[in-house]
A and B are shown apart, each in its own frame.
Chain A
Amino acid sequence: MLKAYYHLLIRDLRLSLRSRHELANPLIFFILVVTLFPLAVTPTPEALQTMAPGVIWVSALLAVLLSLDRLFKLDYEDGSLDQLMLSPNPLMILVLAKVTAHWLLTGLPLVIIAPLLGLFMSLPADAVSVLIYSLLLGTPVLSLVGAIGVSLTVAVNRGGVLLSLIILPLYIPILIFGANAVDVASDGLPVTGQLLFLGAVLALALSLAPLATSVALRITASR
C-alpha cells in the first residue's frame, strides 16, 4: 500500500517535472500579484504592512485554485484515472499520493518564496516566520479540499467556475485564520490560537478529504 503511494507520487512528480512551464504558472501568478500591489497603491511601509497578510494569503489561495484543474484532468482524459480506480490498492491512498504531489509542486514553492514577498511588503521578521508557518499548515488544506471539488467537476467541460463555487466557501476559514495569524503577529501579539486552528483543520482535512475525494471520483466515473 505504501509502495503504491510512493510509486504514484514519483510518477506524478516526474510527469510534472517534464512539463516545467505548467509547473511555474502558479508560482509566477503568486509573485506577480503580490509585486503588482505596491505599484497600484500608496507604497508607504505602514500601508503595505497592514495589507501584506491579506494580499499574500489571497494570492496564494488563488494560485492554488488556478493549479487545481490539472490535478485529475490529464489522468481523466487519457484513461489513467480508470486504471487507478481499478487498482487493488485503496483509492484513498492513491488520491493522497496525487494530492501530495500537487502540494509539493504548487503549495511548497509558494511557502518557500513567501518570506521574500513578506519582506518586500515590509512585514516585520516575526510576522514573516508566522507567515511561513501559516502557509505551511494552510496550503496542504487548500490542496486536500480542492481535490474534492476537482473530483466532482473533472468530467464537466469548463468546470472551472463550478469548481470555484464549490470550494471557495470551504477555503474561507483557512484564509481568515491564515491572514489573521500574520496580521496579529505583525502587531507583536501571540498567534498560538490561529496556528493551532490551522493545524486542527489540516488534521481533519488529511483524514477526511482523501475519503471524500475517492467517493466523488467513483461517482464521476459512474456517469
Chain B
Amino acid sequence: MLEAQSLECIRDDRLLFNDLSFTVAESEVLQIEGPNGSGKTSLLRIICGLRLAEAGQVLWYGESILTNREDYYANMVYIGHLPCVKGDLTVLENVRSLLDTRSLTLSDPEIEAALAKVGLASYEDVPGKALSSGQRRRILLAFIELSRARLWILDEPLTALDVQGVALMESMILEHRQAGGSVVFTTHHGMQLDCDMSSVQLGRKKEGSRC
C-alpha cells in the first residue's frame, strides 16, 4: 500500500541515502535498520510527508502522499521521539486531544479499555506532568491502539518502556499485523517479533538492500 521510489535525503551537506526504494504491503512489518545518524528518523519523516525528500517520492496506493494527504493521514499514525503529552491535561484528556486531531470521537469506556490495556488503568484523571517518561510513552500506545490506522510508523517505540511495555508493544504489533495492518519502525532495542519481517538497511555504502 505504501511505496517509496528512489528517495534521496541530504542533511547538512551530508548524503544520508539515495536511490532508496521499498514497498510496504498489507500485513507487512518493516524494520528500518542503521547506526545513529544514518537517517532513520529522516526517512520516517519523509514517508510521513513531514519532511521533503531531495529526490524521489512516496506513494500511497499509487498516489503521491503530498497531493493526497487527507486520505493518507486518515489511514496512518506516526509516533516520533517526542512524547506529545501535555503536562496540564489529564491522561484521558491527552488521549482525547490526540484522537481529536484524527477526528475520532470515542466513548469514555473505549478509551478507558485501551488505557487499561497499556497499563494506565486508574490513571485517567492524573495530569500528564505527574507521569514518568515510560507512562507517557504508554499514552501514545493507547493512542495508536485507538487510532484505527492501517499503517503504523513508529520511531523508536520502545524508548523508556520497561520489559512489560516492550512485550506489550510486540503483542500490539502482532495483533495489528493479523488484522491486516502494516508497521514501519526503527529500534535499537531487540524487538522479538514472532512473524516475517522485512528490513531496509541505512548507512552502508550500498543502500536499499532488502533481506
Contact = CB atoms under 8 A, between A and B. Distances in A.
Interface of A: 3-4, 7-8, 11, 14-15, 18-19, 74, 77-80, 82-90, 94, 221-223
A79 B45 CA distance: 13
Contacts of A86: 48-50, 73, 76-78, 101
A14 B92 CA distance: 14
Nearest to B77: A86
A215 to B, nearest CB: 12
Interface stretch (B20-28, B30-38, B80-88): B80-88
Given A79-B81, A79-B82, A87-B102, A7 B97 contact: yes
A19 to B, nearest CB: 6
Nearest to B86: A15
Contacts of A74: 86
Contacts of B50: 82, 85-86, 221-222
A151 B78 CA distance: 21
Contacts of A82: 50, 78, 80, 82, 84
Contact of B101 (A4, A18, A77): A4
A86 B98 CA distance: 11
A79 B51 contact: no
By size class, the interface of chain B is 20 to 34
Contacts of B93: 11, 14
B178 interface: no
Interface of B: 45, 48-52, 69-71, 73-74, 76-78, 80-86, 88-89, 93, 97-98, 100-103, 105
27 contacts: A3-B105, A4-B100, A8-B97, A8-B100, A8-B101, A11-B89, A14-B93, A18-B89, A19-B88, A77-B82, A78-B82, A78-B83, A82-B82, A83-B84, A83-B98, A85-B50, A86-B49, A86-B50, A86-B76, A86-B77, A87-B102, A88-B69, A88-B73, A88-B102, A94-B101, A222-B50, A223-B51
Nearest to A221: B50
Nearest to A77: B82
A15 B74 contact: no
Given A14-B89, A79-B80, A221-B45, 11 more contacts: A3-B105, A11-B100, A14-B93, A18-B88, A74-B86, A77-B82, A86-B49, A86-B76, A88-B103, A221-B50, A223-B51
A86 B85 CA distance: 16
Nearest to A94: B101
A18 B98 CA distance: 18
8 nearest A-B residue pairs (beta carbon): A79-B82, A7-B100, A88-B74, A18-B88, A87-B101, A79-B84, A88-B73, A11-B97
A3 B51 contact: no
A19 B87 CA distance: 10
A91 to B, nearest CB: 9
A18 B84 CA distance: 18
Contacts of A3: 100, 103, 105
